[in-house]
Every structure is written in structure tokens, then in C-alpha cells.
Structure 1
Amino acid sequence: MRSTGRRDTQPELRLRRALHRRGLRFLVDAFPPGTKRRRRVDVLLRGARIAVFVDGCFWHSCPEHGQLPKTNRGWWQRKLEGVVRSDRDTDAELTSAGRLVVRVREHEDPELAGSLS
């Protein structure tokens, strides 16, 4: 788990390139102002007040591609359920702070997700 990077993953870089090609400017791995908890946003479009998360299929329990490991299944299930719970909590907090929350799965086309404006 320690080797999993927090930022600059390939899906995140592809999305950022797509946003940049559209002329959008953004902050990367930022703390959105006006929130109580210090949760980082993968891509923050400040003017548009949009918080974008690029979710990996394994860590964020993608219904299409997410799979539980066969070893230590119970522990992993609790761990991944906690990640999803944290995601929903973050979504609610950012929404109540007036931000639009967009979650993009790592397998989604970045060009389609890049049309956020």
C-alpha cells in the first residue's frame, strides 16, 4: 500500500492533459478552501468551484472492475468499504461547501471526462 502514489497517476495525468487542452487551469492535489476536514482533491477548478477525483478501480470499489483479493478477504472488504464511506463523506462536505463534485474512474475516457466546463 505504501508504494501506491497519492498523485500523478497515469489516469490522473491523462485527465489533466485533457483539461489543459481545453484551456482549463486548475490546482493539483489541493485542499479546497471552506471545508472543515483536510481532504485533498485530485484536480480543483477554483473559478468553476469543481472538485474532481480520479478514482482507481481497486481502491474505490468500482462495480465494473473492482475485485476483492482472495487472501485476507474480510480485512480487505472492511478496508475498501471504509474508503468508499470516506468518499461519500468527502462528497457531502464539498457539496455543502458549494462545490460540484465529479468522480472519474481510472478506466473512463479522459477526453469525455475532460468536458467538465
Structure 2
Amino acid sequence: MTTRSDVADLDVGLAVFASYDAPDWTVLGDLAEHFTTVLVATAANHEDACHAVSCGAFGYVDVRLRSDALRRSILGAFNGEHAYSRRVLASLIRNGRWLRSAEARPRSQ
């Protein structure tokens, strides 16, 4: 079993958190504290995407995207590009909120 103290020692380039129903915001926040984290949602909506921003997630992706778009979103996040829809980004800019930056690449050994 992995404990919270073990998490800080893991070498993870990107955590992908799958949500099949309502996201567990506490788990997402805990992951985002330690890793660049993208939430992949089966029931994606704008409100949850904005909530993901407030939890520190690096992205929020709708699993219903075409497979090539989903792949580009995840690879982009791994390379340091936020994975949010234009609508979410426009809301953030309009409201004067900014995304936190993260180093998505794995630590060098």
C-alpha cells in the first residue's frame, strides 16, 4: 500500500486521474500537490473543469474526444502544455485567474 509519505519519493512524469462519475476532488488535489496531474473524465462538463483548475490539476480532458485528440492532449501535458478546453481557458482569462505552472518531465536520474 502506498502512503502519502511514499508519494513524494516517486518519479512520475505525469499522473493521469480517470474519473468515471463525479471526481474525487480530494484525491485530485492530493495528486496535483505532488505531480503534474490531468483528470480524464467520462462525464466531462465545464463546471468540473473549472473545479479541476482550483484543485491544481494541469488539465481536464473529456474521454469522448477523438482518440488522436485525446492522445495529443496527454502528450502535450507531458511536455508542459496545459490540457484544458479553449472555453475553460477563456473563462480563466476573463476572470483574471491563471493556471499554475508545472514541470511535466520526469526528474533526471
- The TM-score by the shorter chain falls in which range? 0.3 to 0.5
The structure richer in strand per residue is 1
The structure richer in helix per residue is 2
TM-score normalised according to structure 1 size: 0.32
Q: Which has the higher contact order (CA 8 A, sep 6+)?
A: 1
Q: Which structure has the greater CA radius of gyration?
A: 1
